[in-house]
Structures are given as C-alpha cells and as structure tokens.
Amino acid sequence: MQDKSMNASLKMLLDIAEQMILEKGCRATTLQDIADRGGLTKGAIYHYVKSKDELFGLILEAGMETTNQRFFESVARAPEGREGLAGPLNTLSERLGHVAGTDNAANLIFIYLLSQNDKPAVAAILNRYYEAAVQTSKKWIEVGQQHGAIPEHVDAEKAARMFAIFKNGLQVQHIVSPDGGEIGDRDIFQFMMNALGGGRD
C-alpha cells in the first residue's frame, strides 16, 4: 500500500470513498458504489487496490500525510527554541481532535478495520498504519529536538509510541463512551506539551 503514488485518479477515488463512508458507513459502502459514483469500472479501482479494506487503508495513510504536511508547514513558520513548540503542537492537536471525531471518515474506517482485525490482510493494514504513525511522530519529535523545542532527553521512539496509543484511544473513545466527556484541542495540546517537556522550566 505504501508504494501507491497519489495521482489525480487515486485521489478522486479516496475522496469519493470518504464521502460515501460518511453517507452510508463503511460496511454499506462497496467498491461498486465508489466506481459508479466516479464513473469508473470496478476494474479501474483494482488497478490501485485489491480490496475495499486496502482502499480504506489508503484513506488513513492519506490523512496521515496531510497531517505531516501541515506539521512541517507549521515548523517552517515557528521560531527556534522552546517557544517554537507551540505552533506545531497546536497544528497536531487540531488534527487529532478532528481525526477522533465521529463525523470523520478516517475515524470510522479505523473502528471498522479494528472490528475485522482477525483477518490477516486487515491486521497487516492496521499494523502498517500504526507503524507509519509511530515513525511519523518520531520524526516530528526529532525535528523538535533539532530546533531546540523539545529536550534532548525525551526518548523519541517511546514518546512516538505513546502518542500513537493516545491517538488510537481518542479514536475509540467516541465509540465506547460518546457521553464520556469531551477532550478538546486545548486538552490535547496541553497533554502533548507536558509529555514533551514543553510545559516545564
């Protein structure tokens, strides 16, 4: 999956799939539905993926890439040192809050794929997604350390794995406890700031 290049046709497929998931849900959305709405044959979709689950996995990866781009745009605008941590963390907090929402296709996909984790192909998709999230977060932390915004003593690998667990927990929280209290962007921001040593003198 990770070697698929994002051309206009694939992006259109992902956009259509996201719209249909929000309209019908993951289970009810079929590759034939997506093909019909896009004016394509089902075979055209199979040029990119082998299954609906793989297409859904690509949507998760595309969302992660969008977050990565926004993070680095924020880093480019941030000042050096600890004060430079706020902008990029704010960007990530907003994205995490958005991804964890019940009106977000990526969150619906994540929960749907989790429910099928007993299938080896789906387990592989989830594992790839998790490991990509960890490596992306690790890169963000290392960039923060290089810019003096995150203390050197922070273990980037461990912190990245903790953030992946936190993100997955946010995604599941809305399903298992919809009335369990809102965790807002500001709460996420403060949690990450404290975890990365930005809230300490």
Residues 157 and 182: their CA atoms lie apart, in Å, by: 28
CATH number among 3.40.50.720, 1.20.1560.10, 1.10.760.10, 1.10.357.10, domain 52-195:
1.10.357.10
The reported pLDDT for the residue numbered 156 is 94
Q: Would you list the domain boundaries of the chain? A: 52-195
Note whether 135 and 157 are within 8 A (CB): no
The reported pLDDT for the residue numbered 168 is 87
Q: Spell out, as residue ranges, where the chain has pLDDT lower than 70.
A: 1-6, 100-102, 178-181, 198-201
Judge residue 23's burial from the number of C-beta atoms within 10 Å of its C-beta, 0-12 exposed, 13-18 middle, 19 or more buried.
Answer: exposed
The reported pLDDT for the residue numbered 159 is 92
Amino acid type, 108: L
